[in-house]
Amino acid sequence: MSNSGSCAPVGTGNDSLAQQQPSSLQRSPITITRDDFSSDDSGFYHARSIKKDRHERRIRWAPLNIGLERRLQTFVVLCHTLTIAIFLTMFFFSCAIPLSWPVLIPYLIYISLFSTAATSGSLGGRCNFLRSLRVWRLYASYFPARLQRSEPLPPTRKYIFGYHPHGIISHGAFAAFATEALGFSKLFPGITNTLLTLDSNFRIPFYREYALAMGIASVSRESCENILTKGGTDGEGMGRAITIVIGGARESLDALPHTLRLVLKRRKGFIKLAIRTGADLVPILAFGENDLYEQVRSEDHPIIHKFQMLVKRAMGFTIPLFHARGIFNYDVGLMPYRRPLNIVVGRPIRVTQQKDREKVDDKYIDLLHTMYVQELERLWEQWKDIYAKDRASDIEIVA
């Protein structure tokens, strides 16, 4: 601002009075720096109280005058984060009603013993209307999330999309590949993509119906092979794709903000799957996925880390100790931070099909794995200065 905006005119008698006062009574100017402000996870800065203890931490509450759209975004993300809990609550509430038992008991027997909907590859429960609802655009706008491609993919091939990193809950994978919020069908016309998750999720009453309607399927080998070898435009999987979060539960323990540590060196099962089905490999790098939550660092708490690994070996998944923001505050809760998610789809790696597992050459597997890692590293080098400006380290590939 210019000096013309001062409260007192320049050259008035107040200047002479100030000069006559003893130096002990004169006040020194107060300097306010950027350190006297704090930013919430949406990027806005708020004034912080200047106190003796400048390092005192306080819970920063969200203002009441936030617009309706941002409130709706928060509500949709909250519902998605609690999806399993919501459906389980509905199930147990139904169990409390005796009149529902004649329906619930056969239903539980069916999903536990007989249902193959999650592994058959038929995608019969998929509902494109549900996947295209406007609520998913609100979900994607919360972060916000964006999807971009390196080049078009012809629908005359089939694909295995490898999503990296896992993060805590893989919000980017859901937004990009389980909904139409980011325009997947427009970027890759003619390709029917299926996001894969743990087979155990399809044993959760009511939730399995929701997951199947969203076009999600089991990550089991049987499911992957059926999706990529059945259906499609030629009846053998042409025009189909699956999305696998390669790092899995193990990688979620390394999901720390401003880092990118990928559990990939020994992960070659998806390479063998690509060779058996003739599906091209497409690496995907999600910048910002690891920034959505804070979690307990394994090197600082080795006992907790050992317990998490024990749970993973016993149950197939693990439990990261994480936190982020809340519904009405910016510091405490299980809601993800509002931080950008930029999901970049890499170039396809052409794979030659070899149906006979016994004849698959290990050297060919290693070659494809090397090419896959190189494409991930290329994506990192190309976009890190745009989407990872605050990175604490470069990409790291671990076993």
Peptide bond into 165 cis (omega under 30): yes
Predicted local confidence at residue 334, as pLDDT: 87
Q: How far is residue 243's CA from residue 235's CA, in Å, rounded to a whole number?
A: 20
Would 212 be classed as within a structural domain? Answer: yes
Q: How many domains does the chain have?
A: 1
Would 16 be classed as within a structural domain? Answer: no
Q: How far is residue 363's CA from residue 371's CA, in Å, rounded to a whole number?
A: 12
Predicted local confidence at residue 356, as pLDDT: 81
Q: How far is residue 3's CA from residue 8's CA, in Å, rounded to a whole number?
A: 10
Would 335 be classed as within a structural domain? Answer: yes
Q: Which residue has the tokens 């069916």?
A: 110
Task: Assign 3-class secondary structure to the chain.
Answer: CCHHHCCCCCCCHHHHHHHHCCHHHCCCCCCCCHHHEEECCCCCEEECCCCCCCCCCCCCECCCCCCHHHHHHHHHHHHHHCHHHHHHHHHHHHHCCHHHHHHHHHHHHHHHHHCCCCCCCCCCCCCHHHHCCHHHHHHHHCCCEEEEECCCCCCCCCEEEEEECCCCCCHHHHHHHCCCCCCHHHHCCCCEEEEEECHHHHHCCCHHHHHHHCCCEECCHHHHHHHHHCECCCCECCCEEEEEECCHHHHHCCCCCCCCEEECCCCCHHHHHHHHHCCEEEEEEEECHHHCCEECCCCCCHHHHHHHHHHHHHHCCCCCCEECECCCECCCCCECCCCCEEEEECCCECCCCCCCHHHCCHHHHHHHHHHHHHHHHHHHHHHHHHHCCCCCCCCEEEC
Q: How far is residue 309's CA from residue 261's CA, in Å, rounded to a whole number?
A: 17
Predicted local confidence at residue 308, as pLDDT: 65
Predicted local confidence at residue 300, as pLDDT: 67
Residue type, 236: E
Would 324 be classed as within a structural domain? Answer: yes
Predicted local confidence at residue 310, as pLDDT: 76
Predicted local confidence at residue 92, as pLDDT: 96
Predicted local confidence at residue 44, as pLDDT: 45
Tens digits of pLDDT across the chain (399 residues): 444 444 443 343 444 433 444 444 344 444 444 444 444 554 444 444 434 444 446 888 888 888 899 999 999 999 999 999 999 999 999 999 999 999 999 999 999 999 999 999 999 899 999 999 999 999 999 999 999 999 999 999 999 999 999 999 899 999 999 999 999 999 999 999 999 999 999 999 999 999 999 999 999 999 999 999 998 888 889 999 999 999 988 888 888 999 999 999 999 999 999 999 999 999 999 999 999 999 877 666 667 667 766 776 666 666 777 788 998 888 888 899 999 999 999 999 999 998 887 778 889 999 999 999 999 999 999 999 999 999 999 999 998
**Closest CA relative to residue 175, chosen from 323, 76, 270, 255:** 76
CA 349 to chain centre: 24
Predicted local confidence at residue 34, as pLDDT: 41
Q: How far is residue 216's CA from residue 127's CA, in Å, rounded to a whole number?
A: 10
Predicted local confidence at residue 57, as pLDDT: 64
101-109 vs 83-95: helix crossing angle, rounded to 10: 130
Would 160 be classed as within a structural domain? Answer: yes
Predicted local confidence at residue 233, as pLDDT: 86
Predicted local confidence at residue 315, as pLDDT: 65
Would 28 be classed as within a structural domain? Answer: no
Would 55 be classed as within a structural domain? Answer: no
CA 256 to chain centre: 13
Would 26 be classed as within a structural domain? Answer: no
Domain of residue 277, residue span: 68-397
Predicted local confidence at residue 318, as pLDDT: 67
Predicted local confidence at residue 32, as pLDDT: 44
Predicted local confidence at residue 299, as pLDDT: 63
